[in-house]
Structure 1
C-alpha cells in the first residue's frame, strides 16, 4: 500500500501546486494576454480548490488526502512512527511544516480571499458575451 500512499501524496502536492501556480498564472497570464487564464472552468476549479482547503481548515477538519495517505501507510489515521520512503520524504517537505494549526488556517483563508479578489479584478471570460462579440 506504500505505492498507493505515495501516489496520494504526489496528487496532494500537485493539488497544492495547482492552487499556488494557478494563482500566479492568472496574474501573469492577465498581464501577458493569455486567454486561457480567463476560462471560466479553470477559474471555477481553482477558486473551488482553495475554498475547500480554507473551509476544511476553518472547521478543524483534517485534509482528506492527508488522512487517506496516513491510513494507507499505517492502517491508522495518525501516521505516527513510520519510516519514510524517498517520495514521502521529499514531497512531504514541500507540503508539511511544523507550525501551529491556526497559522495554516489564517494563510488558507487569506489566500482564498486574495483568489476571490482576483476573480473580481481579473474576471473570467463571460461565455455568452464572448460568443456575441465573435458574431
Structure 2
C-alpha cells in the first residue's frame, strides 16, 4: 500500500499527471482572462483574481516559471514523452494552434483589455450599489 504502481504502469500514471497539469493550465488561463467577471457577483472574488492576474502578468512579462509547466514537463518526461518546449505551455498548446503566432501580442493585449473591462465593470457595479444604499437611507 502507498507504493507506486508496477514499472509498466508508471508511464500511465505520469501521463495522467501531465494531462491533469494541462487541464489545470487551461483552467488557470480561463480564470485569468475571465475571472474578473465572477467578482461582479461575488466582490470578494476580486482579490484572488487580482493575485492570479498579476502572477500571469509576471509569467508573461518577467518570464517567471509556471509551476504547472514544471509539473507537466516532469510528468511527460517520466512518461517517456517529450516535455514542453522552452516557450512553455502557451507556445506549445495555443500559439500557432488556437491563434497564429504573429498575433501573440494582440492576444495578450486583448486578454489584458478583457481583464481591465471586468474590473471596470466591478467598480461601476460597486459604485452604483453604494449610491443606491445612500439614496435609500435619505429621508424625504
Question: What range is the shorter-chain TM-score in?
Answer: 0.5 to 0.7
| 1:14-67 residue CA offsets vs partner (Å, 9 max, x unmatched) | 1222233435xx2xx8xxxxxx62423212222322221111111123432122
Write the distance in 1 (CA, Å) between the matches of 2:93 and 2:32.
13
| Residue matched to 2:35 | 22
Q: Is the 8 A contact 1:19 1:49 kept in 2?
A: yes
User: So what's the TM-score if we normalise by structure 1?
Assistant: 0.54
Write the distance in 2 (CA, Å) between the matches of 1:50 and 1:109.
13
Gaps of 5+ in 1: 30-35, 82-91
Q: 1:79 aligns with which of 59, 69, 83?
A: 83
Q: Is the 8 A contact 2:25 2:68 kept in 1?
A: yes
Compared CA separation, residues 80 and 64, structure 1 to 2 (3 A): closer
User: So what's the TM-score if we normalise by structure 2?
Assistant: 0.53
Matched pairs, number = 107
Write the distance in 2 (CA, Å) between the matches of 1:114 and 1:21.
7
CA RMSD of aligned residues (A): 3.9
Gaps of 5+ in 2: 1-13
| Residue matched to 2:24 | 11
| Residue matched to 1:97 | 95
Higher RCO (CA 8 Å, separation ≥ 6 residues): 1
